[in-house]
Structure 1
Amino acid sequence: MEKCSGKSVQGGVAAARLRFLRPVGQQTDVPAGTPEQELARLEQALRKAAEQQNALYEQTAAEAGEEVAQVFSIHAMMLEDECFTGPIRDRVRAGESCACAVRASARELAAQFAAMEDEYMRERSADVEDIAQELLAALAGDRPAEAAQAEPFIAAAEDLTPSQTVRLDKKLLRGIVTRGGSSNSHTAILARSLGLPALVQCPGVGPDWDGRMAVLDADEGTLTPDPGPAELAAAREKAERAARQARELEQLRGLPNTTRDGRTVEVYANIGGTDELELASDQDAGGVGLFRSEFLYLHSGDYPTEEEQFAAYRAALEHFAPRRVVVRTCDIGADKTVDYMGLAKEENPALGLRAVRLCLSRPQFFKTQLRALARASAFGSLSVMFPMIISAAEVRRCKELLAECCRELKAEKVPVGPIELGVMIETPAAALCADELAEEVDFFSIGTNDLTQYTCALDRQNAALEPFSDPHHPAVLRLIEMTVQAGHRHGCWVGICGELGADLTLTETFLKMGVDEFSVNPVSILPLRGAIRRSSAR
Structure 2
Amino acid sequence: MITLEGKSVYGGIAIGKIAFYKRSEITIKRCHVEDTKREVKRFEEAKVKASQELQELHDKAVEDVGEANAMIFEIHQMMLEDLDYVESIVNIITTQEVNTEYAIGTTADNFAAMFQAMDDAYMQGRAADVRDVSERLLRVLSENKSGPMAVGEPVIIAADDLVPSETVQLDKEKVLAFVTMYGSANSHTAILARTMNIPAVIGTGEGLAQEYDGKTAVVDGFEGKIYIEPDGPTMERMQRKQQEDAAQRELLQQLKGKENITADGQKIQVYANIGSMADVGAVLKNDAGGIGLFRSEFLYLESNTYPTEEQQFGVYKTVAENMAGKKVIIRTLDIGADKQVDYFGLDKEENPALGYRAIRICLTQTDIFKTQLRALYRASAFGQIAIMFPMIISVEEVRKIKGIIEEVKAELKAEGIQFREDVETGIMIETPAAVMVSRELAKEVDFFSVGTNDLTQYTLAVDRQNEKLDEFYDAHHPAVLAMIRMAAESAHAEGKWIGICGELAADLSLTKTFLSMGIDELSVSPGMVLPLRKVIRES
TM-score interval (norm. to shorter): over 0.9
Alpha-carbon distance between aligned partners in 2 of 1:396 and 1:434, rounded to the nearest angstrom: 14
- Per-residue CA shift, 1:298-343, capped at 9, x if unaligned? 1111111111111111111111120110010011111111121111
The structural deviation recorded for 1:202 is 0.6
**In the alignment, does 2:501 pair up with 1:468?**
no
- Assess if the C-alpha contact under 8 Å between 1:66 and 1:271 holds in 2: no
How far the C-alpha of 1:129 sits from its partner, in A, is: 1.2
What residue in structure 1 maps to residue 504 of structure 2? 500
Q: Does 1:530 align with 2:531?
A: no
CA contact (8 A) 2:17 2:214 kept: yes
What does residue 441 of structure 1 align with? 445
**Deviation at residue 358 of structure 1 after TM alignment:** 0.8
Aligned equivalents of 2:504, 2:67: Cα separation in 1: 20
Q: Following TM superposition, by how much is the alpha carbon of 1:229 offset from its aligned partner in structure 2, in angstroms?
A: 4.8
Deviation at 1:27, TM superposition (A): 5.8
2:128 aligned partner = 126
- Find the residue that maps to 1:511 and give its secondary structure: helix
Within 2, Cα distance between the matches of 1:391 and 1:346?
23
Offset, 1:175: 1.1
Structure 1: gaps spanning 5 or more residues: none
How many Å apart are 1:456 and its aligned residue?
0.4
Which deviations, in whole Å up to 9, do the C-alpha atoms of 1:151-205 show, x marking residues without a partner?
A: 1111111111111111121112111111111222222222222332222111211
Q: Distance in 1 between matches of 2:492 and 2:165?
A: 46
**In the alignment, is the contact (CA less than 8 A) between 1:61 and 1:68 conserved in 2?**
yes
In the alignment, is residue 156 of structure 1 matched against residue 152 of structure 2?
A: no
How many Å separate the matches in 2 of 1:355 and 1:431? 18
State how far apart, in whole Å, the 2-side matches of 1:52 and 1:32 are.
29
TM superposition shift of 1:273 = 1.3
Partner of 1:373: 376
8 Å CA contact 1:25–1:140 kept in 2: the answer is no
1:347 aligns with 2:371: no
Q: Which residue of 2 aligns with 1:176?
A: 178
Q: How do residues 99-248 of structure 1 correspond to structure 2 at under 5 angstroms?
A: 99-142=101-144, 146-203=148-205, 204-248=207-251
Deviation at 1:228, TM superposition (A): 4.0
TM, length-normalised to structure 1: 0.95
**Take 1:53 and 1:112, find their aligned partners in 2: how far apart are those partners?**
24
Distance in structure 2 (CA, Å) of the matches to 1:200 and 1:3: 14
Q: What per-residue deviation string (whole Å, max 9, x for no partner) do you get for residues 85-138 of structure 1?
A: 222223334543332222111111111111112222122111111211222223
* Secondary structure at 1:4 match in 2: strand
Q: 1:51 maps to what in 2?
A: 52
Of residues 496-505 and 109-118 in structure 1, the stretch that sits farther from structure 2 once superposed is 109-118
Q: Does 1:311 align with 2:314?
A: yes
Q: 1:512 to 1:378 in 2, by over 3 A?
A: same
Pair 101,308 (structure 1): closer, same or farther in 2 beyond 3 Å: same
- 1:409-434: per-residue Cα shift (whole Å, max 9, x none)? 11101101131100000001111111
Task: Classify the secondary structure of the residue corresponding to 2:522.
Answer: strand
Greater shift in the superposed pair: 203-212 or 487-496: 203-212
Q: Distance in 2 between matches of 1:35 and 1:337?
A: 35
Share of identical aligned residues, percent?
48
The 1-side partners of 2:296 and 2:164 are apart by: 23
Judge which range, 254-263 or 490-499, deviates more: 254-263
2:15 corresponds to 1:12: no
| 1:478 aligned onto 2:482 | yes
Contact 2:30 2:102 (C-alpha < 8 Å) held by counterparts: no
Please say which of residues 47-56 and 523-532 is displaced more in the overlay: 47-56
* 1:375 CA displacement: 0.9
SS at match of 1:515: coil
Once residues 510 and 430 of structure 2 are traced to their aligned partners in structure 1, the CA distance between those partners, rounded to angstroms, is 18
| Alpha-carbon distance in structure 2 between the residues aligned to 1:304 and 1:367 | 12
What is the CA–CA distance in structure 2 between the aligned matches of 1:236 and 1:97, rounded to whole Å?
Answer: 54
Find the aligned partners of 2:513 and 2:225 in 1 and give their Cα distance.
Answer: 29
Task: Describe the SS at the equivalent of 2:509.
Answer: coil
Q: Could you say which residue in structure 2 is the equivalent of 1:335?
A: 338
Equivalent residue for 1:429?
433
Q: Compared with structure 1, are the counterparts of its residues 527 and 142 closer, same or farther at alpha carbon in structure 2 (3 Å cutoff)?
A: farther
What CA distance in whole angstroms lies between the structure 2 residues aligned with 1:450 and 1:176? 28
Task: For 1:74 and 1:428, locate their aligned partners in 2 and report how far apart those are by CA, in whole Å.
Answer: 33
Say if 1:301 and 1:396 are closer, same or farther in 2 by CA, change over 3 A: same
The 1:380–1:25 alpha-carbon spacing in structure 2 relative to 1, beyond 3 Å, is farther
| 8 Å CA contact 2:488, 2:517 repeated in 1 | yes
Structure 2 CA distance for aligned equivalents of residues 323 and 69 of structure 1:
26
After TM superposition, give the deviation of residue 210 of structure 1 in Å.
1.6
SS in 2 for 1:211: coil
1:421-461 deviation per Cα after TM superposition (whole angstroms, max 9, x unaligned): 00000001111111111111111110000000000000001
SS of the residue corresponding to residue 467 of structure 1 reads coil
Please state whether the residue corresponding to 1:154 is helix, strand or coil. strand
Preserved contact between residue 284 and residue 525 of structure 1 (Cα < 8 Å): yes
CA change 1:27–1:510 in 2 (3 A) is same
* Cα gap change, 1:408 to 1:198, in 2 (>3 Å): same
Which residue of the other structure, out of 514, 522, 535, is the alignment partner of 1:510?
514
| Distance (Å, rounded) in 2 between the aligned partners of 1:489 and 1:7 | 40
Q: CA deviation at 1:24?
A: 5.1
Task: For 2:172, give the aligned amino acid.
Answer: K
Contact 1:32 1:98 in 2 (8 A): no
**What is the match of residue 85 of structure 1?**
86
**Can you give the 5+ residue segments of structure 2 that lack an aligned partner in the other structure?**
none
Aligned length: 535
TM-score by length of 2: 0.95
Deviation, 1:235, is 2.3
Deviation string 1:336-368 (CA, Å, 9 cap, x unpaired) is 111211112211111111100110011112111
Corresponding residue for 1:391?
A: 394
Q: 2-side partners of 1:279 and 1:144: how far apart? A: 33
Mapped partners of 2:105, 2:86: distance in 1: 12
Q: Deviations over 1:464-499 (max 9, x none)?
A: 111112110001101111111111111211111000
Displacement of 1:521 after TM fit?
1.2
- State the 1:520 CA deviation: 1.0
Q: Alpha carbons of 1:266 and 1:56: their partners in 2 closer, same or farther (altered >3 Å)? A: farther
Distance change (3 Å), C-alpha of 1:144 and 1:474: farther
The DSSP-based 3-state class of the residue aligned with 2:172 is coil
C-alpha separation in 2, matches of 1:65 and 1:187: 14
The worse-fitting range, judged by mean Cα deviation, of 51-60 and 517-526 is 51-60
Question: Any idea what SS the aligned residue of 1:343 has?
Answer: coil
Distance 1:395 1:58, change over 3 A: farther
Quick check: 1:324 aligned with 2:293?
no
